[in-house]
Chains A and B, each alone.
Chain A
Amino acid sequence: MPEMRIIRTYVDKPNSESIESYTASGGYTALPRALKMGPLEIIDEVKKSGLRGRGGAGFPTGIKWSFVQRDSKQPIYLCCNADESEPGSFKDREIIERDPHQMLEGIVIGCYAINSHKCYIYIRGEMPKGARILERAIRESYEKGFLGKNILGSGFNLDVVLFVGAGAYICGEETALLESIEGKNGEPRPRPPFPAQVGLFGCPTIVNNVETLTCVPHIINRGAEWFASIGTPKNTGTKIYGLSGSINKPGLYELPLGISLRELIYEYGEGIRNGKEVKAISPGGGSAAVLTAEEINIPMDFDSLARAGSMLGTAGVTVIDDATCMVRVAQNLAHFYRDESCGQCVQCREGTWWLEKMLTRIEEGMGRMEYIDTLIDACFQMKGTTICALADGCAMPVESIVKKFRHEFEEHIKLGKCPFGNKYMGIWDGSD
């Protein structure tokens, strides 16, 4: 069964990143159409399409756009969040490297809709290739008059600034991203106030994910009804799923929201590598609670996964086979979040550190039975008590692993070693 390619239609074409290729394949046709519509009309269209944010939270984009006070005396900013660093997630990178003009067209339409004349694209520091391509794409757009002053004779002006991050996972969090652009430490801000009121440089700001903005030209071109007809009623459109882990055919697959996880893994991913069985699946990037093999029939959409106690997140699906030690998985995740915690909130700074310590001890065979309940309780207290969701992002997968694979933890503790024979590879040597 083929993919349902909307965003990824031309990614395999040679030179797909050039503006010639994009315009030849029907690019920049949504923009003149949008500029003839009223901004509010665009927001209405996006609302009707049911487009939900593709960055992880799944907040309806049209509603987000309508939060901005359009007649604000301050400038309004749009920030495009291209700081894709969620473990197991690599969808935005392809858009940036293979079809950046699609995203730029979405940015212009988005800015026009929210009355913004300046957009910052915050790209992850570890994507130098993407940054180079994007820089060229922005230059080309300026040359062709899709960016800059009086775009396509409409009187609408827009400047796009490419901002390269310095390599911090936390800067993908929208307020940390704003702090980073302002030249400060990338640390999330307490809310309220929300960015739509007080955002970048104290001005109203909307932060959208790359994939979200890339959907916008298609909605304008083909109509909200068409977009809403894809997927399920409350989870409309297609989603780019990233398949990785123990799978025969890893990669990106653009499919309607709501496709079953089994179909994704066995039809598109062509099953598990080396004839192994599925043990667990992380359905939405590292921060999502893992699912067990029994939960494999779940529809991959925002609401179904939330009901199952997990989340769609960035739809980066990582498949874990039955030869993998789940304690090791949890320990590896905790290690990542411990390193990436910005260090503001104590639950996150100390909690991730503590989880990692306990999990390492269990993995090395030095754990004690009471660690298991302590892990669950510590995870519970890390969820929903901090400024941003990074602590939740660590606690959710770890808690789900401990709860769903408790027997593995008990086995580690009883045996006094890892039954999978994994050798612990400690990374932090105890120094700063």
Chain B
Amino acid sequence: MPKLTIDGQEADVQDGLNLIQAAALIGIEIPHFCYHPALSIVAQCRQCLVEIEGVPKVMPACNTFVRDGLVVKTNTTKAIKAREAVVEFTLINHPLDCPICDKGGECPLQLTAFKHGPGYSRFDGPEEKKVRKKYFLSEKILYDPNRCIMCTRCVRFTDEVTQTGELGYDGRGFRKKIVVFPGKNLDNELSGNVIDLCPVGALLGKDTLHEERVWYWKYTDTICPLCSNGCNITVGIDPRKGRVARVRPRVNHEVNDYWICDRGRYEFKIVQDENRLREPFIREGEGFRIATWDETLDLLAAEIIKTKNDPSTSIAFVASPMLTNEECYLLKKITEILSIEKPVILTEPIDGEKKFGLISQDPYPNNKGLRDIGLSSDSDRLDGVINSLYEGKIKALYVVGEDLFSVVKGGERGKLREVLSKLSFLAVQDFKLTETAKLAHVIIPGASPYEKDGTFTNDMGRIQRIKKAIPPQGSAKPDWEILCLLGKRFSQEGFNYVNPSQIMLEIADRIPAFNGINYEKIGMLGINKMG
């Protein structure tokens, strides 16, 4: 462990760190733009200049590595002046259009200019700043060469992380700009990350163009629900609109490092907007009528009891791997109280190599968790449910979060439709109006994964917390709350939970796979299942 001194503070640090990392360990911030821990070092933004004892020139902290006896000074006049000069140089051709820039408020250049800049510019003649046209690098990403400070993080990202090499730079000196390599398209599945990497507002998401006013927004750390990898994300909410406005990656070296895929980044819009259910519905003739919650749940409970007591028919519960561990546990608990068959899952987890190490082929976030809770999709049973439906053995169905039409093969859909419409009772609980829901007798509006608390277990067995970023739409409720309300209709005891955290305590107590787990232990970054 090399021992070095930074601004008079002695520090024992790990070998192989550079001075930016070492200084951060003892709470000293060295500003930088081009350096990123996941990318190679180019030392070209020159913002991290520091003084090193015995070296006449100021040195870039990013390309100077710790060694024993190194004496680093970040706060000498020489070092401070050098960094101030860099800010002044950088801003010469930067348009300073911060009031209309999407990056404003979270812009490293803005923050650095404020903290480490000279506070003025001697550049005379802003009308002479070079002006170049903006252009799209891809369908989703707009490039503004005027704002670009040529840190080349985006170029290095496509070279080193995705290794697809779509981006390069064209021209020399002040004419330099980022371009898509001729004959290529910036269309790799991680390409949206260059927007986050950009330390200025040069790379802009078209989806949120001129919408980002980040100081208005609220942020919630949660988990991406769009595949089984469980990437850690931060969801930005525009409280004025009450909607998720954007999704950004959250660093977790065990799961997704610094990145998320473009599906996770953009498809929240579909989850948020498409065919959302906002009220409970009860079938009336050919159509539906809006019902109250009590009416709906009473009807559901009554139908379940009725089917259970009739020996000639049977009821099946279907659980979706979109549900959290807690919700799945509650559903299972209800079947246990009623002593009927436990819920079934209709999809198998899909293994296989993940693209870029984080894009799983399994589109469900919690296939693993549902199995840990004790549900299964053993193929007999799977075919069993559908076959039983076809054979008319099952007369009633309670589907939570699943669209049966997305489970069966295309050719069987007609047959499924026929069978489902013949059921004596079909209840569907979901946050969107699926094809299955259209055939239901009762529709119960649940919440999307951005609108509720709980846990998912990703395909590597890591239990991670999802958090409520926005309230459910309309009078819809989180699924765990609905299941508690339903459960209480069968049993006075055992469904009085205030939040999913309490459910997890009970799960930890009863199910070996979750032994010793609680929300505190899961924390921000999740926990790998014991044993």
Decide if A and B are genuine partners. yes
A binding-site residues for B, Cβ under 8 Å: 168, 170, 185, 190, 192, 338-354, 357-358, 361, 368, 370-371, 374, 377-378, 381, 384-387, 430, 432
Closest CB of chain B to A31's CB: distance in Å? 40
Most chain-B CB neighbours within 10 Å: which of A339, A341, A344, A348? A344
Query: Is B60 close to A, CB under 8 A?
Result: yes
> Is A343 in contact with B46, judged by CB distance below 8 angstroms?
no
* CB neighbours of A170 from chain B (8 A): 172
> Is A381 in contact with B81, judged by CB distance below 8 angstroms?
yes
A345 to B89, CA, bound (A): 10
* CB neighbours of B125 from chain A (8 A): 357, 361
Query: Is B162 close to A, CB under 8 A?
Result: no
A374 to B175, CA, bound (A): 24
**Assuming A343-B171, A344-B150, is B128 touching A350 (CB within 8 A)?**
no
Most chain-A CB neighbours within 10 Å: which of B43, B81, B90? B43
* CB neighbours of A350 from chain B (8 A): 89-90, 92-93, 174
**Assuming A190-B43, A368-B124, A432-B175, is B90 touching A385 (CB within 8 A)?**
no
- A-B CB contact pairs (8 Å), 5 listed: A190-B60, A346-B44, A351-B89, A353-B92, A385-B46
* CB neighbours of B176 from chain A (8 A): 343, 349
A-contact bits for B72-87, CB 8 A (1 contact / 0 none)? 0000000001100110
* CB neighbours of A385 from chain B (8 A): 46, 49, 57-58, 82, 85-86
**Assuming A342-B173, A343-B173, is B58 touching A384 (CB within 8 A)?**
yes
A381 to B173, CA, bound (A): 18
**Assuming A190-B60, A432-B171, A432-B175, is B89 touching A386 (CB within 8 A)?**
no
**Assuming A381-B81, A385-B58, is B173 touching A346 (CB within 8 A)?**
no
**Assuming A368-B124, A387-B44, is B174 touching A338 (CB within 8 A)?**
yes
> Is A352 in contact with B173, judged by CB distance below 8 angstroms?
yes
> Is B42 in contact with A386, judged by CB distance below 8 angstroms?
no
* CB neighbours of A185 from chain B (8 A): 169
* CB neighbours of B46 from chain A (8 A): 345-347, 385-386
Chain A to chain B: the 10 pairs with minimum beta-carbon distance, closest first: A381-B85, A341-B173, A343-B176, A344-B44, A190-B43, A384-B57, A350-B89, A343-B173, A350-B92, A374-B122
A-contact bits for B475-491, CB 8 A (1 contact / 0 none)? 00000000000000000
> Is A370 in contact with B92, judged by CB distance below 8 angstroms?
no
Most chain-B CB neighbours within 10 Å: which of A342, A345, A374? A345
* CB neighbours of A345 from chain B (8 A): 44-46
B binding-site residues for A, Cβ under 8 Å: 41-47, 49, 56-58, 60, 63, 81-82, 85-86, 89-90, 92-93, 122-125, 128, 130, 132, 149-150, 169, 171-176
* CB neighbours of B60 from chain A (8 A): 190
A340 to B47, CA, bound (A): 22
In the complex formed, the residue of B with least CB distance to A354 is B92
> Is B86 in contact with A347, judged by CB distance below 8 angstroms?
yes
Most chain-B CB neighbours within 10 Å: which of A170, A341, A349? A349
A-B contact sample (20 more), CB < 8 A, given A170-B172, A190-B41, A347-B86: A190-B43, A192-B63, A343-B175, A344-B150, A346-B90, A346-B150, A347-B46, A348-B173, A350-B89, A350-B90, A353-B92, A353-B93, A354-B123, A370-B122, A374-B122, A381-B86, A385-B46, A385-B85, A430-B130, A432-B132
A338 to B172, CA, bound (A): 9
> Is B174 in contact with A349, judged by CB distance below 8 angstroms?
yes
> Is B150 in contact with A349, judged by CB distance below 8 angstroms?
yes
A353 to B89, CA, bound (A): 10
A10 to B440, CA, bound (A): 100
* Chain A, interface SS category: helix
Closest CB of chain A to B418's CB: distance in Å? 64
> Is A387 in contact with B43, judged by CB distance below 8 angstroms?
yes
Most chain-A CB neighbours within 10 Å: which of B58, B86, B93, B173? B173
Closest CB of chain A to B15's CB: distance in Å? 16
In the complex formed, the residue of A with least CB distance to B41 is A190
**Assuming A190-B42, A347-B46, A381-B89, is B82 touching A340 (CB within 8 A)?**
no
* CB neighbours of A430 from chain B (8 A): 130
* CB neighbours of A343 from chain B (8 A): 150, 169, 171-176
Closest CB of chain A to B90's CB: distance in Å? 5
A143 to B176, CA, bound (A): 45
A351 to B174, CA, bound (A): 10
A320 to B439, CA, bound (A): 92
> Is A339 in contact with B63, judged by CB distance below 8 angstroms?
no
A329 to B150, CA, bound (A): 30
In the complex formed, the residue of B with least CB distance to A383 is B57
> Is A340 in contact with B41, judged by CB distance below 8 angstroms?
no
A432 to B146, CA, bound (A): 12
* CB neighbours of A374 from chain B (8 A): 122
Closest CB of chain B to A109's CB: distance in Å? 34
> Is A190 in contact with B173, judged by CB distance below 8 angstroms?
no
> Is B174 in contact with A341, judged by CB distance below 8 angstroms?
yes
* CB neighbours of B172 from chain A (8 A): 168, 170, 339-343
* CB neighbours of A386 from chain B (8 A): 46
A220 to B414, CA, bound (A): 93
A359 to B31, CA, bound (A): 31
* CB neighbours of A347 from chain B (8 A): 46, 85-86, 89
> Is A346 in contact with B89, judged by CB distance below 8 angstroms?
yes
Choose one: A354, A384, A432; the contact of B89 (CB below 8 Å).
A354
Most chain-B CB neighbours within 10 Å: which of A338, A339, A353? A353
A13 to B81, CA, bound (A): 57
* CB neighbours of A370 from chain B (8 A): 122
A384 to B49, CA, bound (A): 11
Most chain-B CB neighbours within 10 Å: which of A341, A342, A352, A432? A432
Choose one: B49, B56, B128, B175; the contact of A357 (CB below 8 Å).
B128
A341 to B175, CA, bound (A): 10
Choose one: A338, A368, A384, A387; the contact of B173 (CB below 8 Å).
A338
A361 to B125, CA, bound (A): 10
* CB neighbours of B122 from chain A (8 A): 370, 374, 377
A342 to B93, CA, bound (A): 16
A432 to B179, CA, bound (A): 14
In the complex formed, the residue of A with least CB distance to B131 is A430
A357 to B45, CA, bound (A): 22
> Is B149 in contact with A381, judged by CB distance below 8 angstroms?
no
* CB neighbours of A387 from chain B (8 A): 43-44
* CB neighbours of B124 from chain A (8 A): 358, 361, 368, 371
A353 to B150, CA, bound (A): 15
A192 to B89, CA, bound (A): 25
In the complex formed, the residue of B with least CB distance to A386 is B46
A402 to B85, CA, bound (A): 19
A381 to B118, CA, bound (A): 13
A352 to B92, CA, bound (A): 11
> Is A340 in contact with B171, judged by CB distance below 8 angstroms?
no
A357 to B397, CA, bound (A): 77
A387 to B49, CA, bound (A): 12
* CB neighbours of A338 from chain B (8 A): 173-174
Closest CB of chain A to B290's CB: distance in Å? 60
* CB neighbours of A168 from chain B (8 A): 172
In the complex formed, the residue of B with least CB distance to A185 is B169
In the complex formed, the residue of A with least CB distance to B169 is A185
* CB neighbours of B90 from chain A (8 A): 346, 350
A358 to B123, CA, bound (A): 9
> Is B86 in contact with A353, judged by CB distance below 8 angstroms?
no
A377 to B47, CA, bound (A): 18
A378 to B89, CA, bound (A): 9
In the complex formed, the residue of A with least CB distance to B81 is A381
In the complex formed, the residue of B with least CB distance to A390 is B173
A338 to B171, CA, bound (A): 13
A170 to B85, CA, bound (A): 23
Closest CB of chain B to A100's CB: distance in Å? 30
Closest CB of chain B to A364's CB: distance in Å? 12
In the complex formed, the residue of A with least CB distance to B177 is A432
Choose one: B42, B57, B149, B175; the contact of A346 (CB below 8 Å).
B149
A110 to B378, CA, bound (A): 74
A386 to B49, CA, bound (A): 10
Closest CB of chain A to B267's CB: distance in Å? 36
